[in-house]
Amino acid sequence: MKDSLSVAAIQMVSAASLARNLADAGALIAQAAEAGAQLVALPEYFCFMGKKETDKLVLAETEGNGPIQEFLSETARRHNIWLSSGSIPLVTPDPGRVFNTQLIYNPAGEQIARYDKVHLFSFARGQESYDESRSILAGDVVKRVDTPAINLGLSICYDLRFPEFYRALGVVDLILVPSAFTYTTGKAHWETLLRARAIENQCYVLAPAQGGVHENGRRTWGHTMLIDPWGEVLSVLPEQAGVVSGTIEASRLLEVRQSLPSLSHRVL
């Protein structure tokens, strides 16, 4: 990567209105770009949090077409930034399910990478119950993106619980973890898992999240954060919409990897 890169993660409390979510995301991205961010990352399903799991099927787009992707491309181009979509719904061969997809755009507004979420979340405790497999089709490819600015590892939310997934990325400068962690699981494990992924992979982690009470009654944990390769939390936003920003330093990556060269000690 270059010597340094200014990054920002967007935290949202997305609603059931696509137009409202795009407007809110656009304003927050503009805020981040005006403050100097060169790479901006949105949270999981920034574009839509419906009343029920299957609502997202109506918004599913084919790759390269649709208002959500047009918004992302035009926004990256207008602000001259690298932009992560967080995740959006794309069509699958199964008409009853979508892919939960992260797209990466370059400053020219060109889509340069796609990652379909591999691990699908399910959880049940008391009245709280989720099963993503009912409306989402899992991807099957680990994805990294090597750009002139930075080498990225792509992941989405529940992937965070599977360290072997991140090992398969190889050595990267920054891992993106757009998420919509539930309040219950986020309070228990979010920060611990994010810091562990940064420490064991000796890279920065940028985790844009949904954070608050949504129209559908769901409460997401939030705590969007940027973590350095030593596991130190550099910036965090507990709840509500906003921007978390910071700088990724090549010198910090080198310092951590030279002082504790665990990546070169791997035997498996």
List 56, 61, 117, 143, catalytic entry: 117
List the end-to-end C-alpha distance of the chain, in Å, as a whole number: 26
Tokens 């791997």 belong to residue: 266
Q: Is 74 a catalytic residue?
A: no
List 61, 157, 203, 239, catalytic entry: 157
107 close to 82: Cβ distance less than 8 angstroms = yes
List 44, 61, 132, 239, catalytic entry: 44
Per DSSP, what are the bridge partners of residue 11? 242
Nearest partner of 39 among 208, 179, 192, 166, judged by Cα: 208
State the DSSP string of 113-126.
EEEE--S--EEEET
224 close to 9: Cβ distance less than 8 angstroms = yes
Q: Is 157 a catalytic residue?
A: yes
Q: Is 47 a catalytic residue?
A: no
90 close to 136: Cβ distance less than 8 angstroms = no
Q: Which two tokens stand for residue 140?
A: 């099957």
Nearest partner of 204 among 243, 162, 245, 248, judged by Cα: 248
Distance, in Å, from the CA atom of 140 to the CA atom of 122, rounded to the nearest integer, reads: 18
The residues annotated with a catalytic role in the active site are 44, 117, 157
